[in-house]
Amino acid sequence: MRLFLVFAILWGLFYNVAYGKGSLDIDMKLKALNKPALKTIKSEDGDIIDCIDIYKQHAFDHPALRNHKIQMKPSIEFGTKKTTIPNNGSSELITSQIWSKSGNCPKGTIPEAVLIALGFNFIGAQSDINVWNPPRVQASDYSSAQIWLLGGLSDTFESIEAGWAVNPRVFGDSRTRLFTYWTKDGYTKTGCVNLLCAGFVQTTTKLALGAAIEPVSTTSQKQHYITVSMFLDPNSGNWWLTCAKNVIGYWPGTLFTYLKHSATAVQWGGEVHSPNVGKKPHTRTSMGSGQWASYLWAQACYHTNIRIKDYSMQIKYPTYLSEYADEYDCYSTKLHRKTYMSEPHFYFGGPGQNSRCP
C-alpha cells in the first residue's frame, strides 16, 4: 500500500520523504475501546455518541501516560492572524456537529463517536480547509484534507495530523468526518486514527472525533470550512488541537522524541490511500472535491489563511513554500493568487482514475 501526498511543504533540516501508512487492525482496536458510557446520545444523522469518563478515555491505556494529569486547557493560545481574500463567492465557518442538536455530554466526560518553509523549530500551524464529500471513495480506500506537523528522521519520523476524511473502512460509511492521526515511527508500529489507540487526550465536550461534519461545500455555492490549528504549549510540552473554535484536546509531549520540542516540517494538502495507487486500473477514489486544483474557488478543495508559528511567537504566512503531487495525472496542486498583492489559496485534488490516469 502506498501513500499519496499533495501538499505545500516547509522542508525541515532532517525531513526528506513521507512513507505510506500501514493498514489498521480495526477489529482489534475496537475491542480495546470498550469503555463504559455515562450517557449515550443518538444523533438525528444516525451517529451514536457515547459520553465517557474523561479519565477513562483510551489515551490513558498508553504506558507513557500512566500517571498523566489532564491539562484542561493550553497555557497559551495559537492566536489569530487571518486575511480576508477576495473570491467569487461566500464562505461560512462550521462550528458544530449535528449530534450536538440532540444533547450534550456532561462535565467530566468527553464525546466519542461509536462507529463499527525552509526552516525548523515550528511550534504551530493553521489553515482554513473547505469541507467536501469526495465522490467515489472505494471501500478499501480513504481520502482526506489535512495538516501535518512532522519531526525526526526520514525513516522514523514523528507526525501529528488533523482535518477531515472519508474512510469507509474505519467509519463504516462514506460521510465526511473529523479526524486526527499520530505516529512516532513513520507509521510502522505506532499511531492510529482518532481514539482507536492510546495517545491523544480529548478534553472537549462539544465535538466528537469521528463524528460527521455538515454542511459540506457544493460546486459554485457557499463554501463551508473548518479552521484547524495545532500548536505546542511550551510550558507543558503538549501539542494542542483546535477546530471550529473549540479546543479538542492534545497529544502529550511524552509520546514523542523529536516533536517534544518542535516540528521540522509542516504540510498542508490532501491524501488518498489505496491498494490500487500506482497500479492499473488506478483507484477511482477522488481527492478534495474530486475536481482539479486548476478549477479554483467553489470548485476545488483548498487551504487558505495558511499560518505557522515558531519560537519568535509570531503568527505568519510561511516564506518558503513548494508544491508536490505524487501522480499529477491523477491529482493536482495549485498555489494561486487572485492578484499579485493578494495572499494565495492552496488548491488541491482530482478525480483519481481518468483518461490521463488509467
Given 158, 161, 323, 327, which residue is catalytic?
161
Going 50 to 51 to 52 to 54, the CA torsion angle's sign is positive
Closest CA to 259 of 125, 117, 157, 155: 157
Given 44, 77, 92, 271, which residue is catalytic?
271
Distance CA 293, CA 350 (A): 7
161 is catalytic: yes
112 is catalytic: no
Cell numbers at residue 334, please?
A: 495549485
Closest CA to 209 of 165, 168, 245, 239: 165
CB atoms within 10 A of CB 88: 10
Name the residues annotated as catalytic: 161, 271
